[in-house]
Amino acid sequence: MHDIAALAAELAGIELATDRALLRQKSRDFYWYSPILKRQLDGKAAELIARPKDEAEVLRVLTACHARRVPVTVRGGGTGNYGQCVPLAGGVLLDMTAMAAPVALMDGIVEVEAGAKMIDLDLWCRERGWELKLWPSTKRTATIGGFVAGGGAGVGGITHGTMRERGNFWGARVATMQDPPRVLDLEGQAANPVNRTYGTTGVLTRIKVPLTPAQDWRDVAIAFDDFVPASRFALELAFCDGIPKKMCGVFDSQLPPFFKGLADAVPQGASLALVMVAPAALGALRELAAEHGGRIVAEQDAVAAERDPETTPFYEYCWNHTTLQVLKKDRGVTYLQCRFPFEDTLKAVEAVRIPFRDEVWMHTECVRFGGRTTMSALPVVRWTTQERLYEIISAFEAAGIGIANPHVLTIEEGSNYRRVPGNQLGFKRMTDPLGLLNPGKMRDFSPLETTA
């Protein structure tokens, strides 16, 4: 497809790889959660991996690729679910994981190279009295750059919302695909065009995120006789301003048997709530759970659990790790991403949970959007056909439930309520006029210049 030998020669001194098995491995993420994306993306791969150690090497790669009209797709930990790091047109896979050093921590804002693993960054911040506001359930493998560029929601959302909320993402250094490439320092709202754009609008080399004071979080598992009281408990917890909390996920009774390490503790047929609260709130949490008929069945030190490779932190049963826990035993499922209304939230949940209970195993997460609290959902869905999946999606939407479709490739199709404000399309036209950065992932973009 491209003259990779000549390109590799030009990039001598940068860590490169052309091994076919490694190219296949690094050109994948968890898109296979979706049978639809699996059909589209299986077999797609880069032709060359470049692993820069600093910003200067990033610019060398972008300069050479621009001159030769070679596409560049950026990769962090490869923990995305929508094919964000899958190269659709071959070219170079830019692996950012060698750029992983903290740069500075000042006034509660950390600046860090984009390839830092979130677990390592959080531990570094904790040593200084701070912690990340938000992290994905893949915290132990995901990078901060990948979370900003391709995720942005997860643990911490019950208190802090998502990465799209003003004040959760403060800035980035961004290398452009211009001639010659430039490095832009973006802060505040000016950084929105690189937030959740899959690396289509620039290569993130550094990230700035505001932090929150560190807590010694506790994981608590609470069993309920039914999903309804579990959900009522969860929403009341979400609205309890006096309880410091990081997470609350609710799972219908079909799901806990898939949670290795917790399954034996949860009574058969019970629904489950998994929460993360500060130690000072444990007494209040126990009272609240008892008021809703909940029984605490497991507890652990959340910070210690994530540092132990033999222990599962409870957040690795939550968010989209729920789907992974089921897929380990049952490959005949997929998932959806939903947001329930702010008003009559539980009524909307039940409106779709009950009629689809055999096909849709409900899993919700308490989260804030725009200062308002509701439930987001990542239900596990029994896969039959694409047509049936879209029938289910239509029924959810008819009930007033927002869908962020995880079975599509492009930012525009999949974002819905997760779309970040700002002129991302216009920004890409400036920073990548040839459309060489992760081509095919921004549906509305057309190159302003010819790539011939």
Token pair for residue 62? Answer: 């972008």
How high is the pLDDT of residue 419? 63
Please give the Cα distance from 145 to 131 (Å, whole number).
17
In tens digits, what is the pLDDT along the chain, a chain of 452 residues? 799 999 999 999 999 999 999 999 999 999 999 999 999 999 999 999 999 999 999 999 999 999 999 999 999 999 999 999 999 999 999 999 999 999 999 999 999 999 999 999 999 999 999 999 999 999 999 999 999 999 899 999 999 999 999 999 999 999 999 999 999 999 999 999 999 999 999 999 999 999 999 999 999 999 999 999 999 999 999 999 999 999 999 999 999 999 999 999 999 999 999 999 999 999 999 999 999 999 999 999 999 999 999 999 999 999 999 999 999 999 999 999 999 999 999 999 999 999 999 999 999 999 999 999 999 999 999 999 999 999 999 999 999 999 999 999 999 888 665 566 778 999 999 999 999 999 999 999 998 765 44
Tell me if the bond preceding 180 is cis, omega within 30° of 0.
yes
Neighbour-count burial of 86, counting CB atoms closer than 10 A to its CB (0-12 exposed, 13-18 middle, 19+ buried): buried
CATH entry, 4-95, from 3.90.1170.50, 1.10.1740.10, 3.30.43.10, 3.40.50.10860: 3.30.43.10
Return the structure tokens found at 426.
């216009």
What pLDDT does 254 receive?
98
Identify whether the C-beta of residue 393 lies closer than 8 Å to the C-beta of residue 336: yes
Quick one: how many helices (H) and strands (E) in the chain? 15, 21
Identify the DSSP state of 356. Answer: T
Specify the CATH number of the domain 218-403: 3.40.462.40
Structural tokens at position 231: 């959900």
SS3 313: coil
**Count, residues in the chain:** 452
Apex CA 188: angle with CA 373 and CA 201, to 5°?
100
Q: Are the C-beta atoms of residues 272 and 295 closer than 8 Å to each other?
A: no
Neighbour tally for 56: CB within 10 Å: 9
Q: Where are the alpha helices (DSSP H) in 171-327?
A: 227-238, 282-291, 302-307, 321-327
The phi, psi pair for 392, rounded to 5°, reads -65, -45
Domains of the chain: which residue ranges?
A: 4-95, 102-213, 218-403
pLDDT of residue 423: 87
The answer to whether 102-213 and 218-403 have equal CATH topology is: no
Determine the pLDDT at residue 452: 47
The confidence score (pLDDT) of residue 417 equals 58
Q: What is the pLDDT of residue 171?
A: 98
Tokens encoding 166: 């003003």
- The CATH number given to 102-213 is 3.30.465.10
Any idea what the Cα angle at residue 272 is, between residues 266 and 276, rounded to 5°? 110
Enter the tokens of residue 8: 């590799």
State the DSSP H helix or E strand holding residue 60, giving kind and residue range, or none if neither: helix 55-68
Q: Residue 388 phi/psi, 5° resolution?
A: -65, -40
For residues 145 and 80, the answer to whether their CB atoms sit within 8 Å is no
Contact of 333 with 381, CB cutoff 8 Å: yes
Burial of residue 47 (CB within 10 Å: 0-12, 13-18, 19+) is buried
